[in-house]
Amino acid sequence: MATTMTQTETFVGKRVRRREDPRLITGTATYVEDIQMPGMHYAVIVRSPHAAARIRSIKTKQAEAAPGVVAVYTGKDTERVGPVPCGASLPGLRVPHHHVLATDRVYFVGHPVAVVVATDRYLARDAADLVEVDYDVLPAVADPEKALAKGAPAVHPEWPDNTAFTFHQEGGDVDKAFAEADLVVKQRMTSQRLIPMALETRGVVAEWRGADRQLNLYTSTQIPHLVRTLVAQMLSLEENRMRVVTPEVGGGFGSKLNVYAEEALMGFVAMKINKPVKWIESRRENFLCTIHGRGHVDYYEVAAKRDGTILGIKLKIIQDLGAYHQLLTPAIPTLSVLMMPGLYKTKNVRADIVGVFTNCMPTDAYRGAGRPEATHGIERMVDLLADELKMDPAEIRLKNFVGKDEFPYATATGLMYDSGDYAAPLKKALEIVGYQKLRQEQIEARKQGKWMGIGISTYGEICAIGPSPATPAGGWESATVKIEPSGKVTVMTGACPHGQGEETTFAQITADELGVGLDDVLVIRGDTAIVQYGIGTFGSRATAIGGTALYFALQDLKAKIKKFGAMLLESEDVTFSAGQVTCNRTGKSKSLQEIAGASYRALKLPPETEPGLLATRFWEPPNFTFPFGAHIVVSDIDGETGQIKIRRYVAVDDCGNMINPLLVDGQVHGGVAQGLGQALWEQVVYDDNGQLVTGELMDYAVPRAHMMPWIENDHTTTPSPVNPLGVKGVGEAGTIGCSPAVVNSVVDALSPLGVRHIDMPLTPEKIWKLIAGGN
């Protein structure tokens, strides 16, 4: 047996390589698709090809008779399965009943209508074609603004105005601010629908052990415990009779922060056929019926004084919700409202949201969830204002930032920014990029007819989501630390990280607190039968909340270790450090391994102390955390082709203390890739009839490695006072900071043509047309 090394080397703050990578890059990790069971059956789902239709009839006889088919279920069979849940609540919210299989009507292309179960997945796929659905096709509406127009087809007949909710929030005195303004800049802008595009599509394996009355559900999710609670409810199954296991997850980005019809449906099927059943989402299904992101039309007005001081902001958001509410659908635009002042001091804001039903796949949380939209909006508006005032975009930002001595800072939208020094990353980024020199170069480039632009984005974001009053399921997180009799350490996190690297960072935190080696620590996640209840990983919360729960559990254990050490050393005057309890008088010490052994052997116990070394903590944060940063993009545009080349990408992020700067940079890289995707290439297109026309990777331009610019990462560090680790979160920062920096640089490049704004994505066609038209 390997011994537990006690050591003085510390790990927090170091660029430790990810311990999870070897299995991922050697193809030996286990995903849902890799799970095999004796007697496995396979499900294929029949989906609507129409965006809106009445179902006249469904004929399943032929499919049922097909080779290998054991069952075909339709909406009639699943009527008693509870609705797909919406966890968000807003005053007056209209919530359509979301059956797991359509009953009498379909509402979007891809709507599940029937499920075919066979002994072989290809036989199931062939038989699915034999299900005959007779549709009475109805008019559909796919555009949120068209859906609001009079006479538009009603997505849900009971609500002919297609309005799911309206939401109003106001702070300060907006009318006075606008009355006193020297100027008001206005702009309509969109944040287009996007496909989250996890490399691993969704997938579910359900196994019903009838004799034990036990349902085991293997699903690719960010929130296994919430899936258990909610799916058990849908199936009217006792929660303790259900186990959710989340093996490796090949990307989520918010799209797996959800409870999907297929999860309950596979549970239903397994319980019916009494055999394990597997459903793996195809890539085409992933386009059609895994949640989409964004889907905003925003109308901004910003009032300012001639010296550049922002006085007030008005914002109207039209949010394309799709046909149903998935878990958090209607809550996402409210995050945009919270974030709308950005890093700026204005106390006067007014926001109105109209949540609109369309005959499309529901939108929901996608990397950044509400904050990229808000940041894009305010950062574009600040540039428009600077342009109007002939001010430098860096200068106008520095003028309006909340000052570093003003924290904690109460925003007009009801938030309390925890800590910050907003000028610091901007100044650093300006210096790294060589801003003044670039502006000189730009003057020369313009003389030569070249299109060169410099774009700045200074973002703030709401992370560590969140305190329980702000998070539908509870905003805390849990951790258990067990020190085994051998001294080895097992950490169980309720956060269920799935690619964020907590197997490494949580081991770093644990190793430092206990004075053990990284390899002595095992981090377990993603199994409700092993791990105590947890909330999950989303909203850049795993380290700031889950890590803090871990930190407090470790403090509990350290106190207990000290007690055992003191008992064994027969001294009250002891210190625990570097994995040793040492008597301060004699210098004698006991190792963690010896203490662990003694705590389980329990021949003798310290006063009022139980045997064993195990601690569990549920930590509720008192506030969000608010990371920030500055991204600067230098772009060159080919006037002949409209192609944008990103020459420089400088990202200076402040996410508080960094447990592992290597992983922080990785998160920023990934975030920027998805931000660039939105800024330059990606967009979901539905035609007027609600047909998804960007239905595969040939038509939906997700960034490839060769399309990425070199990213120059740097940081400033402003610890958060919200948690003892001083961490803030960085999972979404790259995405949030990216898109406005890119668009600002391209608008800057084309400003000699009088271009003020361009909606994303900035495709070469769009850019070429602007240049060609301008010439």
Partner 1 sequence: MKISGSYTLPLPPERTYQMMQDPEVLARAIPGCEGLEKTGEGEYRMKMQMALASLSGAFEGRVRITDQTPSLSFRLVVEGAGRIGFVKGEGLLKLRAADGGTEVSYEGEAQVGGTIAAVGQRLIDGTAKMMIKKFFEKFAEAAS
**Environment class of residue 706 by beta-carbon count within 10 Å: exposed (0-12), middle (13-18) or buried (19+)?**
exposed
Which lies closer to partner 1 via its Cβ, residue 109 or residue 318? Answer: 109
Return the bridge partners of 204, or none: 219, 279
**What is the rounded radius of gyration, in angstroms, for the C-alpha atoms of the chain?**
28
Q: Within 672-691, which residues bind partner 1 (CB under 8 A)?
A: 687, 689, 691
Tokens at 702, concatenated: 């997700």
Helix residue ranges, H only, 638-708: 661-676
Helix residue ranges, H only, 414-501: 423-433, 435-447
One of 21, 34, 572, 699 touching partner 1 (CB under 8 A): 699
Which lies closer to partner 1 via its Cβ, residue 56 or residue 188? Answer: 56
CA 445 to chain CA centroid, nearest Å: 40
Examine residue 694 and tell whether it contacts partner 1 (CB under 8 A).
yes
Examine residue 698 and tell whether it contacts partner 1 (CB under 8 A).
yes
Binding mask 334-373 for partner 1 (x = CB under 8 A): ----------------------------------------
As measured in angstroms, the least distance from the Cβ of 692 to partner 1 is 5
Question: To 5 degrees, how large is the angle CA 348–CA 349–CA 351?
Answer: 165
The number of CA neighbours under 13 Å toward the Cβ of 467 is 11
Examine residue 136 and tell whether it contacts partner 1 (CB under 8 A).
no
Cβ within 8 Å of residue 706, ≥6 positions away: none
Which lies closer to partner 1 via its Cβ, residue 124 or residue 339? Answer: 124
CA distance 548 to 407: 22
Which lies closer to partner 1 via its Cβ, residue 52 or residue 630? Answer: 52
CB 602 within 8 A of CB 644: no
As measured in angstroms, the least distance from the Cβ of 698 to partner 1 is 8
Instruction: Give the DSSP letter of residue 519.
Output: G
Q: Which residue has the tokens 């700031």?
A: 544
CB 42 within 8 A of CB 278: yes
One of 41, 50, 256, 728 touching partner 1 (CB under 8 A): 50
Examine residue 486 and tell whether it contacts partner 1 (CB under 8 A).
no
As measured in angstroms, the least distance from the Cβ of 689 to partner 1 is 6
As measured in angstroms, the least distance from the Cβ of 706 to partner 1 is 22
Which lies closer to partner 1 via its Cβ, residue 406 or residue 688? Answer: 688
Examine residue 288 and tell whether it contacts partner 1 (CB under 8 A).
yes
122-141 burial, b at 16+ Cβ within 10 Å, e below that, comes to: ebbebbbebbebebeebebb
Single out the segment in contact with partner 1 by CB under 8 A; choices: 72-80, 284-292, 470-478, 636-644: 284-292
Examine residue 129 and tell whether it contacts partner 1 (CB under 8 A).
yes
As measured in angstroms, the least distance from the Cβ of 138 to partner 1 is 13
As measured in angstroms, the least distance from the Cβ of 690 to partner 1 is 9
Which lies closer to partner 1 via its Cβ, residue 692 or residue 738? Answer: 692
CA distance 505 to 765: 44
Q: Within 55-114, which residues bind partner 1 (CB under 8 A)?
A: 109
CB 196 within 8 A of CB 253: yes
Single out the segment in contact with partner 1 by CB under 8 A; choices: 327-335, 426-434, 481-489, 695-703: 695-703
As measured in angstroms, the least distance from the Cβ of 771 to partner 1 is 24
How many chain residues bind partner 1 (CB under 8 A)? 18
CA distance 344 to 302: 12
C-alpha to C-alpha distances, 731 to 17, 52, 339, 369, nearest whole angstrom: 17, 37, 17, 12
One of 209, 284, 347, 756 touching partner 1 (CB under 8 A): 284
Q: Which residue has the tokens 């907006």?
A: 174
As measured in angstroms, the least distance from the Cβ of 136 to partner 1 is 13
Tokens at 520, concatenated: 């002595």
CA distance 663 to 659: 8
Which lies closer to partner 1 via its Cβ, residue 50 or residue 397? Answer: 50
As measured in angstroms, the least distance from the Cβ of 135 to partner 1 is 9
Single out the segment in contact with partner 1 by CB under 8 A; choices: 45-53, 271-279, 436-444, 477-485: 45-53
Single out the segment in contact with partner 1 by CB under 8 A; choices: 48-56, 186-194, 321-329, 436-444: 48-56
Examine residue 322 and tell whether it contacts partner 1 (CB under 8 A).
no
Examine residue 333 and tell whether it contacts partner 1 (CB under 8 A).
no
First to last CA, the chain: 76
Instruction: Give the DSSP letter of residue 680.
Output: I
Cβ neighbours of 441 (radius 10 Å): 15
Can you tell me whether residue 646 is helix, strand or coil? strand
Examine residue 260 and tell whether it contacts partner 1 (CB under 8 A).
no
Examine residue 49 and tell whether it contacts partner 1 (CB under 8 A).
yes
Examine residue 397 and tell whether it contacts partner 1 (CB under 8 A).
no
C-alpha to C-alpha distances, 19 to 220, 493, 763, nearest whole angstrom: 21, 16, 39
Residues at the interface with partner 1 (CB under 8 A): 49-51, 109, 129, 284, 287-288, 687, 689, 691-696, 698-699
